[in-house]
Structures are given as structure tokens and as C-alpha cells.
Amino acid sequence: MKLFFDFLPIILFFIAYQFAGIYVATGVVIIAAILQLGYVWWRHRRIDGLLLASNLLVILLGIITLLLHDDIFIKWKPTVIYWLFAAAFLGSEYLLQGRSLVQRMLDSNIHLPQKVWHRLNIAWVLFFTIMGAVNLFVVYHFSTHAWVNFKLFGTLGMTLVFILLQSVYLFKYMHNQSSSSD
């Protein structure tokens, strides 16, 4: 259910685009982002930093898109977010006292050697860097319609493939942990 909630603004953007175009879709995603932030605050009295950053960027670039009537700003949003994530993962290697973001998120569920945590973190840096670059390639080489479809289906597919590959890589470490705990 949380995954659906996280993707709801994107889904609403996609639906609005199909019926009314990029500018109406941009207005819809701005409203959805504001409502999503409000709901999370109302429910939990705190907002996750990634959700806040992503939604504030949607709101800011969406407003610029509508004011200037130029869709390039909303199209750049995914790249900016992906590259900020890449920078955060890379910076965490040096700023979080040897425990990267990926290690902080997952080490309560899986125990890995430090070199594996490092590889995993670098994989996320590369993934987000590539995702940002691919988004820009689609923005500048394809139609808005193709970009909207890529935004929903392409990025979701790429993310699922990356997570699957990551799971395959981690499987041997998870298997070793289960057999060592018997």
C-alpha cells in the first residue's frame, strides 16, 4: 500500500496527461504532492526527508513550468532528484562515519561485509546517475508523450530490473547468513 501511495502523484500525473496534456498534468501533480505531504504530516507528524525533497521539487519546478508555460522544467525534475540521490549516496560514504546510506537503511535486516556495503552503495550511485542521464536523453530526443510514458513505465521497469540484479548479487550473502544461524 505504501508503494501505491508513493507512486500516486506519478499515476495521477500520467492519467491527467492522457486526458488534458502536460500543463494540466503538472497542476495535478503539484496538488497531489501538496496533499501527499499534508496527509503524511497529519498521520505521522513528520515527513521523510526524501519525500519532502522530491515533493518540494515537484512543486517548485511544476510552478515554474506553469508560470513560464515551458514543460522542460517538469521534465528535468526526475534528473535533478536522481542526481541528488546519487550525490547523497556518494556523500554518505564519507560523511556518515563509514556507514553509507544503503547500509543505514538495510543493516538491521542483513549483515554484510563492509566491502559489499561499499559496492552496494556505489551501485546505487551509478544507478541514480544513469537514471538521470537516461531521463535527459528521453527529454531531448523524444516527444513529451514518449517522455510521460517513459517516466511511468520506463523508470519503473529500470528500477525493478536494478533491484532484481541487486537481489541476485546479495542472495549468496543472505544464504550464508541463514545457514550460519542454523
Contact between 85 and 123 (Cβ < 8 Å): no
* Per-domain boundaries in the chain: 1-70, 78-182
pTM for this prediction: 0.86
- Average pLDDT value for the chain: 90
Inform me whether the pLDDT recorded for 178 exceeds 70.
no
pLDDT digits (tens, 9 = 90+) for 55-105: 999 999 999 999 999 999 999 999 999 999 999 999 988 887 777 888 888
Residue 77 CA: distances (Å) to CA of 10, 24, 139: 12, 16, 11
The C-alpha cell that represents 12 in the structure block: 495521477
Least-confidence region, from 32-41, 44-53, 54-63: 44-53
